[in-house]
Amino acid sequence: MAYTSDLRLKNVLKDIHLYVVKELGNQGFNELPSLRVFDESQEDAKLFSEGGLTFKDPKINYKYGSNDGAWVYKGSPILIVEGTFGTERGQFGDGQLNRFSHSLGACVNGHTGVTIIPFKGESYSKTGKTIAGMDTSIRIKYATVHKGFIKGALNSTKKHRGNFFVMDVYSSNLLVNLIIEKFKAVLKRRNNLEDIEKLIIKQMEKEVYNYEYASRSKGIIGNLYNNNNYLISNFSRAYTQNFEALTDSSKRDGHGLLGKCLIESYLSEEENYYAIFLRMSKKDLQNLSQRQQKEFSFINNSKYINICCFDDLEFNDKKLKKRLEDIRKINLFRHRKNELLREIQESFNEGSITLKSH
């Protein structure tokens, strides 16, 4: 069997568990937490209450992403971990956002969810940099943890009963300490849990200091007005996926859409986040709902995300409306329309494209 990134991560968790058990033993603990981890990922997808590593949203009853492992005591979770080596495997940007829902599920349900990832990674790439003294055909490209991911995690911790921490996978000592202090807190023993949690949050805040999410994105809408000229959101996004992009298995946009929508709904300070699907109609949205695709069903029922489409928009410029209508079916990866999309973004911000009042 190939040594996959998933298996590598689970072996890391097993090693961490050995350190946790050894340290608790050294401190005189007879009772110990167990590590719930499976070599087969289909076991991860079961609900935690059924022996798996997945949580549901308590309000809308949809599943979040599954996790990789959990420390458990008497059937209750102490700490749930999702991990990835994506920064060492060519994930340089939004690909990391796909995993946001995994630890979020634990946090929403009042638990401590941790995503571990190399904060700085490198991988081989044809477009990367050459290394002095090495064959010039060997090129390295560097990647860092997505700052928007960390910022979304920080806001999730503020909003929900639980915690959503993001930690460097190579800071294993800190994770060991977190598990130990969390276990002590569960047993109501003297502990330093609050200090450890403050340290983790401080490290996360350091990563996103002075960071502005998606400042150059052509999809972000900084000012969204309704047709009564009332400002209804200062942070929303115009999405370019059409019906085919979310239903054709060769495109597989659904998972990425869920990650981006969830993160951005947590970055909206006023909790008025609108996901506006420029190239979809109300009929398209109805058809998507009937298909019960899990990612779209989740965002469509989330109380933090407002789903809108082309039919919900009012245009001052009828020619601009027609130009947008004309690109509903084209492949935007092959036929880029960046100038048009920038114009649409500016029109939203200026109030010449507005959302119809309901």
Last residue of a domain, one of 159, 183, 207: 207
Q: Which residues of the chain have pLDDT under 70?
A: 1-4, 92-93, 124-138, 249-255, 269-270, 358
Does any domain span residue 212? Answer: no
For the four alpha carbons of 244, 333, 147 and 268, in that order, the dihedral sign comes to negative
- Asked if residue 293 and residue 267 are part of one domain, the reply reads yes
At 2 the pLDDT is 43
**Counted domains in the chain:** 2
Strand spans (E) along the chain: 34-37, 69-73, 76-83, 112-117, 120-130, 139-144, 163-168, 220-221, 224-225, 231-233, 236-239, 273-277, 305-309, 313-315, 353-355
Does any domain span residue 266? Answer: yes
Tokens representing residue 191 in the block: 């502990």
215 Cβ contact partners less than 8 Å away, ≥ 6 residues apart = none
The Cα–Cα gap between 23 and 21 comes to: 6
At 275 the pLDDT is 95
- Asked if residue 326 and residue 285 are part of one domain, the reply reads yes
Tokens representing residue 153 in the block: 């995690």
- Asked if residue 80 and residue 48 are part of one domain, the reply reads yes
- Asked if residue 126 and residue 241 are part of one domain, the reply reads no
> Could you tell me which residues are beta bridge partners of residue 231?
225
At 1 the pLDDT is 39
C-alpha gyration radius of the chain:
22
- Asked if residue 250 and residue 166 are part of one domain, the reply reads no
Provide the residue type at 170 as one letter.
Y
Number of helices followed by number of strands (H, E) in the chain: 12, 15
Q: Count how many Cα atoms sit within 13 Å of the Cα of residue 316 in the half-sphere of its side chain.
A: 16
Domain with 143 in it: 5-207
- Asked if residue 257 and residue 113 are part of one domain, the reply reads no
At 294 the pLDDT is 77
- Asked if residue 235 and residue 146 are part of one domain, the reply reads no
- Asked if residue 160 and residue 305 are part of one domain, the reply reads no
Does any domain span residue 12? Answer: yes
Last residue of a domain, one of 207, 228, 250: 207
At 330 the pLDDT is 87
Tokens representing residue 336 in the block: 């880029």
At 329 the pLDDT is 85
At 336 the pLDDT is 85
> Could you tell me which residues are beta bridge partners of residue 76?
73
Does any domain span residue 250? Answer: yes
- Asked if residue 155 and residue 27 are part of one domain, the reply reads yes
From residue 341, alpha-carbon distances to 213, 219, 227, 231, 333 in Å are 19, 8, 21, 21, 13
- DSSP letter (8 states) at residue 63: B
Residue of 114, 257, 296 lying closest to 196 (CA atoms): 114
pLDDT in tens, 64-114: 999 999 999 999 999 999 999 988 887 766 778 889 999 999 999 999 999
How far from the centroid of its chain's Cα atoms is residue 352's Cα?
A: 32
- Asked if residue 188 and residue 43 are part of one domain, the reply reads yes
Residue whose structure tokens are 């072996």: 11
The Cα–Cα gap between 82 and 66 comes to: 8
